[in-house]
Amino acid sequence: MSEASIRSFRASDGYKIHFRHWKSQTPRGIVIALHGIQSHSGWYDASSRAMAEAGFEIYFADRRGSGLNGYQRGHAAHGMRLINDARALAVVARDETRQSGGAGDPLPLIIMGISWGGKIATATAAAFPHEINALALLSPGLYPRIGPNRWQRFQLKFARRFEITKQDIPIPLRAPELFTDAVDGQQFIANDPLALHTVTSGLLNAGQDLDQLIGERAADVCCPVLLMLAERDRIIDNAKTRVLVTRFGSSHLTYNCYQNACHTLEFESNRVTFFSDLTKWLTQRGTGGWSR
């Protein structure tokens, strides 16, 4: 079984970002993974192990201000900052795999966005399509069912207009039952000391930056895309998400929806099926090539 090592790198603005790295004995690709608004890379050990065992190097960053990153908790200045953090980790991953593998073609790079991280992953694939070989979206937060209330939306508009970036706003996802029906998963979430419960106006407005970029450039997502949804998701709107993905320019779209599953597939009782489908898609794409 592949064990994760906890490492860090410096973003272009000097921020120290921690990430978990699951190594593969026989790497055939790289996965840059991005988590949700409240979670961190430690939630996704089981799926990351499965992908590493299937032949993929997993670089799973804790978003700045989340998880192991304690500085400026819950904050990001703007959407491009989050995109560039993901791109910087991809550079680290490509450099390391090139050094260990020697000469030859670089390994394909897949960006994987889970929940809110789906915004960052999709926006990265849209803005820098030639840097990404494939996009995997797991219950992506492209159309949330739960978001800021009317007063909070007014606050966000006010904060953007007057450049107020550090106003704290509670994340409206306090109940672990929103993420999973599995009792052990609910207990893990409830007792997680690294889970994020408050974010800044800057981070939420950064999310709106990403939404706008995706809306304007959806057709530029031309790489193969995997979309995995949970049938009983109460956090995101599956129907609207599917409509948006049909606007992508990709000619290779794979869609899976898991019956009776809740938002965080990682914690569901049938997660072995989810892991199998994910690694099968990665492996098939690797075998069949990563052409757009």
**What is the pLDDT, as a whole number, of residue 236?**
96
Contact 250, 223 (CB under 8 A): yes
**What is the pLDDT, as a whole number, of residue 174?**
85
Q: Which of 17, 61, 11, 16 is nearest to 40 (CA)?
A: 61
**What is the pLDDT, as a whole number, of residue 285?**
72
**What is the pLDDT, as a whole number, of residue 65?**
98
Bridge partner list, 18: 8
Q: Beta strands 168-170 and 198-200: pairing type?
A: antiparallel
Give the three-state DSSP class for 169. Answer: strand
What is the Cα–Cα distance from 160 to 206, expressed in whole angstroms? 10
**What is the pLDDT, as a whole number, of residue 108?**
95
pLDDT means per 10 residues in the chain (292 residues)?
89 97 94 98 98 97 98 95 98 87 77 98 98 97 82 67 72 92 96 96 92 98 98 97 97 96 96 96 72 54
Q: Beta strands 29-34 and 109-114: pairing type?
A: parallel
pTM of the model: 0.93
Contact 113, 210 (CB under 8 A): no
What is the Cα–Cα distance from 279 to 220, expressed in whole angstroms? 25
Bridge partner list, 134: 110
**What is the pLDDT, as a whole number, of residue 158?**
66
Q: How many CB atoms lie within 10 A of CB 73?
A: 15
Q: What CATH number does the domain located at 5-283 have?
A: 3.40.50.1820
**What is the pLDDT, as a whole number, of residue 228?**
98
Q: State the amino acid at position 29 in one-letter form.
A: G
- List the chain domain ranges: 5-283
**What is the pLDDT, as a whole number, of residue 199?**
93
**What is the pLDDT, as a whole number, of residue 98?**
80
